[in-house]
Structure 1
């Protein structure tokens, strides 16, 4: 069964700076404790990551996954799961809106696991992933 989550956060940086932080795939393990490694396999002509391989560990569940990113300027990035050892599907996005003080970021994530996992573990892992995706990217971008 797929689970979805949504969160929003304000970041004291321009949308371009936030998007550059999201695109810094090699730095992902520095701001996301769940990501043990992340590497870009292919890029678009503009140098932005297209296909990315990651090793992730959340709540004792370890996953090797490959996702494919789509970039829409400095306003939106989405990704879709291509391969995974533990997931059937994953879709995520950041939508960025410029504000007077920087950027308002909306994050969405939907994950469908292959393996049965107790509901309380799924909810806790989901909460951890959403907090990392918002608070982690905020700290990373603002600290650059």
Structure 2
């Protein structure tokens, strides 16, 4: 069974600026230390990434994943894992909500590894991922899109 975690943070940037940073998936390694390589394998007609292959290293364990992305307007992006060496499933989404100061970013992720991992370890890893995304992604948006 997949374990889900969520987090919310605010960025002093417009939803359009935040979405532009999300669309720029090839640059994920600039703000996420676990992502070693990101390659867009296919795109939608509007140029947004559809299938994305990523090489990651977490706690000394490497994985190559293929995920399908979906884009709904300029306020919602989701992904679903298609292939992975280490995970049975993974789903996630970013929802962007305009605020008086910028954009509230709501992040949800659900992960199920192929091998048994204690729930407490998996939960701790997911919470750390949300903290790292909050810090790295916020900085990336502010330095490159504002």
Provide the rounded CA distance (Å) in 1 between the counterparts of 2:58 and 2:105: 23
Q: Deviations over 1:103-141 (max 9, x none)?
A: 011000000100122344323321221112222211110
What residue in structure 2 maps to residue 8 of structure 1?
Answer: 8
Q: Distance in 2 between matches of 1:60 and 1:2?
A: 22
Aligned to 1:38: 38
Structure 2 counterpart SS, 1:66: strand
Q: Which runs of 5 or more structure 2 residues have no equivalent in the other structure?
A: none
- How many residue pairs were aligned? 144
CA distance in 2, matches of 1:125, 1:89: 16
Counterparts of 1:12 and 1:50, CA distance in 2: 27
Number of the residue aligned with 1:134: 134
TM-score for both structures, normalised by structure 2: 0.94
State the alpha-carbon separation in 2 of the partners of residues 110 and 92 from structure 1. 6
Q: Per-residue CA shift, 1:71-93, capped at 9, x if unaligned?
A: 01111000000000000000000
RMSD: 1.1
The reply on whether 1:55 has 2:42 as its aligned counterpart is no
Secondary structure at the aligned position of 1:126 is classed as helix
Deviations 1:15-42 (A, max 9, x none): 1110110111111001000101111000
Q: Which aligned pairs between 1:79-90 and structure 2 lie closer than 5 A?
A: 79-90=79-90
In 2, are the aligned partners of 1:58 and 1:125 still within 8 Å (CA)?
no
Counterpart Cα distance in 2 of 1:60 and 1:128: 15
